[in-house]
């Protein structure tokens, strides 16, 4: 790849990121149209169900005649099937685009190389793999969902300097600072769902919504085996879509879906299977220790983000402990320190 390809593809990746939270469950896609080394059009997939990145980019070109002499950069293989919109590969062919540069091939079964094949069959010169690693990281949720057949799992917690995430008997304690809280709300907006266990739901009475950051509200997920949450708790207030996983018989309520699991089978694979069937591609897991440890022990996580605060409790509920793993980032967030890990070993759910 040449330096020009890198520059334009990186611009396309930056554009793609603008669709975070709104394009899902579609992937993040950006597109740049160039003519003689200059950008003449660009776009991104802004909203699920709306025009794809290629459509927006091609329509933004003032002189449509230049498309027959253009080079188009797109972060994901153009679709070749009819979904909510017509195939983007057909559009590129119809516009007479002679060259297309692609970051990643699409793992979605209805595409999976068909878009590239269609373009090449029409005489379009196609190059692939430009900034492929950066593209996979950008769409890591989408790739994990389709390749591993489960949601992308981000585990998050705050712990004290001496390794506790709650007081004795799960007494709630404000551990992290306001800057960490703001960043947590940004993360909530970026993921499709948020998961907590019974004790966290009971003792913390969380809202699990996005309040301090712009973005869509995630689906709330609660593991409540015996339906022990009182009806006055926020998670049962019908303010946003909520799934309750239980061993009891479901009851119906507005904006609330109770899913009965089998006590004879492991709980976590059942939850992951249900989320996959519901097309939920990513989950932010905010606790508590039982859920976090179960996922860590099973190797079912993709990222772990830990805020470590200067506060010391001396006793309480211990934070999860991990073995050696890949530290992606370590930085200060207000008075706290953020440790961000990435799991290189990502098992599927069987």
Decide which of 177 and 345 is more confident.
177
Q: Which letter does DSSP use for residue 35 in this model?
A: E
Closest CA to 219 of 227, 210, 211: 210
Instruction: For residue 345, name the pLDDT band (cuts at 50, 70, 90).
Output: low
Closest CA to 179 of 292, 26, 25, 309: 309
pLDDT at residue 30 in the model = 98
Q: Has residue 102 got a pLDDT over 60?
A: yes
Distances (CA, A) of 342 to 22, 48, 152, 220: 24, 28, 12, 24
d(CA 277, CA 271): 10
Question: How many C-beta atoms surround the C-beta of residue 310 within 10 A?
Answer: 11
Asked whether the beta carbons of 302 and 156 are under 8 A apart, the reply is no
d(CA 257, CA 269): 19
Residues 165-220: pLDDT tens digits? 988 878 888 999 999 999 999 999 999 999 999 989 998 899 999 998 998 999 99
299-301-304 Cα angle (round to 5): 120
Distances (CA, A) of 311 to 174, 318, 330: 9, 14, 18
d(CA 20, CA 48): 11
Name the active-site residue from 54, 159, 190, 286.
54
pLDDT at residue 250 in the model = 64
d(CA 229, CA 240): 17
The structure's pTM equals: 0.90
**What value does the CA radius of gyration of the chain take, rounded to a whole number of Å?**
22
Tell me which residue has tokens 């999860």.
320
Active site residue 54: yes
DSSP β-bridge partners for residue 259: 245
pLDDT > 90: what percent of the chain? 76
- Exposure string for 65-75, b = 16+ CB within 10 A, e = fewer: eebeebbbbbb
pLDDT at residue 167 in the model = 85
Pairing, β 336-342 against β 303-308:
antiparallel
Question: Could you tell me the domains of the chain?
Answer: 3-138 (3.40.140.10), 151-342 (3.40.430.10)
Q: Has residue 349 got a pLDDT over 50?
A: no
Residues 282-341: pLDDT tens digits? 999 998 899 999 999 999 999 999 999 999 999 999 999 887 678 999 999 999 999 999
Tell me the mean pLDDT in the region 225-240.
91
Q: Has residue 350 got a pLDDT over 60?
A: no
* 160 phi, psi to nearest 5 deg: -80, 170
Distances (CA, A) of 99 to 35, 60, 74, 126, 220: 11, 18, 11, 6, 44
d(CA 272, CA 267): 9
């Amino acid at each position: 790849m040449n330096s020009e390809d890198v520059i334009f593809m990186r611009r396309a990746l930056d554009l793609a990121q603008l669709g975070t939270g709104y394009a899902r469950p579609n992937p993040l896609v950006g597109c740049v149209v160039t003519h003689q080394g200059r950008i003449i059009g660009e776009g991104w997939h802004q909203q699920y169900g709306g025009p794809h990145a290629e459509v927006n980019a091609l329509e933004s070109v003032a002189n449509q005649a230049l498309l027959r002499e253009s080079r188009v950069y797109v972060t994901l293989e153009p679709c070749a099937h009819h979904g909510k919109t017509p195939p983007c590969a057909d559009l590129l062919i119809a516009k007479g685009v002679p060259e297309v540069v692609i970051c990643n091939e699409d793992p979605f079964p209805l595409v999976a190389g068909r878009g590239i094949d269609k373009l090449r069959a029409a005489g379009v010169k196609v190059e692939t793999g430009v900034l492929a690693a950066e593209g996979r990281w950008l769409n890591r949720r989408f790739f994990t969902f389709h390749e591993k057949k489960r949601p992308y799992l981000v585990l998050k917690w705050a712990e004290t300097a001496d390794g506790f995430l709650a007081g004795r008997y799960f007494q709630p304690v404000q551990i992290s600072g306001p800057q960490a809280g703001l960043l947590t709300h940004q993360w909530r907006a970026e993921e499709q769902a948020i998961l907590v266990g019974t004790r966290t739901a009971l003792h913390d009475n969380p809202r699990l919504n996005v309040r301090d950051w712009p973005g869509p509200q995630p689906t709330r997920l609660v593991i409540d085996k015996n339906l022990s949450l009182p009806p006055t708790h926020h998670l049962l207030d019908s303010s946003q879509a909520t799934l309750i996983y239980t061993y009891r018989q479901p009851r119906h309520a507005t904006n609330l879906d109770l899913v009965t699991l089998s006590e004879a089978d492991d709980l976590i694979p059942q939850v992951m299977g249900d989320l996959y069937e519901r097309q939920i591609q990513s989950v932010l897991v905010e606790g508590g220790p039982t859920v976090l440890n179960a996922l860590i022990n099973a190797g079912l996580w993709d990222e772990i983000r830990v805020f470590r605060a200067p506060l010391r409790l001396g006793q309480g509920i211990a934070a999860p402990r991990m073995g050696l793993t890949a530290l992606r980032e370590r930085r200060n967030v207000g008075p706290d320190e953020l440790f961000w890990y990435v799991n290189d070993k990502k098992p599927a759910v069987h």
